[in-house]
Structures are given as structure tokens and as C-alpha cells.
Amino acid sequence: MLMVITLSQVMYYASAAIINYAYKSIKSNLSKKFYFLFIPLFIILVFLFYFGDYNTIYRGNHIFLKIFLFILPVVFLITLIQIYIIKVSNLKKDLEISKLNHELLESRYQYLLNQYNSNFNFLHDLLKTCSDLIVLINNKKYKELEEEIYILSDETYKKFNTIYSNSLSLSIVLNEKQQELNENDIYVTTTLLDGDLKCLSSNQQVYLFNEMISAAINSCKNFNNRRYIIVKSFMKEKSTIIQFIFSNDSIEILSKVKTITDEIDKRINSISNVKFDESNQTIKVIFSLNNASNES
């Protein structure tokens, strides 16, 4: 009887320790099948509770005692299996985090590499243009010189507005799409009152700007005149307003843009409005974000 009481107490404290260890160690959601491994432990605890008279078990029916002693090593084995599953699950989670960190570092490296190549090519072209300007000055070709200066000024202004913004998220998107913007001769102008846009997380900002700049580029591609994209933000009462204006002379693309803005509204909890300005041949998209609701 003393042996059975001692074993029951050991099982009680062991089960409590296992549950506490599992609670602190599990970093990810385990499969529901994992918790079925607690059934033998639960059975033996019920068994001990139901047969409170351990002397009866030992002297009255030896079969129950044998069953009890058989279940003990089974429970111990299952405990080891549970600990192994927890460790494997945590290792898998750590591996996933490691892969995500690697992908993040790889994307940052690629971004910096693209930036370096782009800036290097721009400086190379700029030096070549400066050399051409010196030649024109020496040859006193002032008319050609004036034309080249205007071209240089225009290209520099375009390059600056494409890569620079007081919003880090918008700058990342513009730099990623810089080649496409240059190939399609699209000017970008940004006027953001609040560069941080605290009402949105960094991921939400990148998502918003990426979706809208992509839509604006596709819209500008179908426009034959001067192509441009304007991004603005300002405060209105307790709301942050983000405005996108881009070139287009056809109302047909309006439904496609509306589909994109509807999806964005779901993701960032905004209210959008899409309009077609026939007189200016532009599409205007306005996102309204409630600062209080987004911060909460």
C-alpha cells in the first residue's frame, strides 16, 4: 500500500511537471493528435482516484495492480515521446524563423545591389553628360549647350523624384519599380505630410504603395501624352488622407482600379474613393484612414 501511495504521488508531481514544461516549452501550435498522448496519463490518474483503497487493490484483485504497474512504464515512454515532439516542433519553428531571416537578408542585399547599380549607372551617365557639356562650351555651341542642360535638369529631377520620398515604405517601392518607371517615361511626384504614416504598419504601407504604384504604372502605359504619378497625404480632422493621381484618358480602367482599392480597403481597414477626371485625363484615388481605429 505504501508503494502504491508513493507511486501515485510521484505520478501526480510528474504529471504536473510535464504539463508545466509543455506549457512553457511549446512555441508553436502542435497537432491535435499530440494531446491524445495525455490519455494514458489521464486514465492512470482516474484509476488511482477511483480505487482510493489501495489495500483492496493489493490484496483483493492482483489484476488491477498488474495493470497499474504495466501502465506506469507506458506513461513514462509516452512522456519521453511528448518531450521529443515538443523539441522537434520547436526546432521546426526555429528553422522557419531562420529561413525567413535569411530571405529577409537576401532581399535587403538584392535591394542594395540594385540601388548601387542604378546609382552607379546614373553617375556614369552624368559624368559623360558633363564631358559633353565641356566640349560644347569649348566649341561655343551655346544653343546645343542650353538644350543639353535642360535635358540634364529634366532627367535629374525625374531621377530624384523617383527614388526619393520622406516615406521609407514608398521609397522602397519606387526604387523597386524604378526601371519600369524609366522605361515607360513616367514622372513621380510625392508630397507626404506624414512620412511615417503611423496609422499603418510598415507592412501595410509597403502593401498599399506597391499595389497602387503598380496600378498607376499600368494605367500610364495606356496613355500617350505626358505620364505622371502623384502621391499625396494630409490630415483631415481625425483621419489621414492618402491620395494617388495618375494619367489615363479612358474610363474603362476605372473598374480594375476599383477592384484593387476594394481589396486594399479590406487589408488596411480604409475607405477608398475612385474618380475619373476627364478634363485633366487622370484617375484620382483617395484612401481615408481613421487614426484612432488603426492605432488601436
pLDDT of residue 246: 94
Higher-confidence residue of 53 and 167: namely 167
Alpha-carbon distance of 214 to 174, in angstroms, equals 10
Residue 258 banded pLDDT, cuts 50, 70, 90: very high
Per-residue model confidence as pLDDT tens digits over 211-256: 999 999 999 988 888 889 999 888 887 788 999 999 988 888 888 9
pLDDT of residue 271: 93
pLDDT of residue 51: 57
Sheet holding 271-277, edge to edge: 186-192, 227-236, 239-247, 282-290, 271-277
Rg, C-alpha atoms of the chain: 34
Say what the pTM is: 0.54
pLDDT of residue 266: 92
Residue 296 banded pLDDT, cuts 50, 70, 90: very low
The closest of 269, 266, 270 to 285, measured between CA atoms, is 270
Per-residue model confidence as pLDDT tens digits over 84-133: 777 777 788 788 888 888 887 887 777 677 767 777 777 788 888 888 88
The answer to whether 205 touches 267, Cβ cutoff 8 Å, is: no
DSSP 43-64: HHHHHHHH---HHHHHHH-HHH
Residue in the structure block whose three cell numbers are 483503497: 53
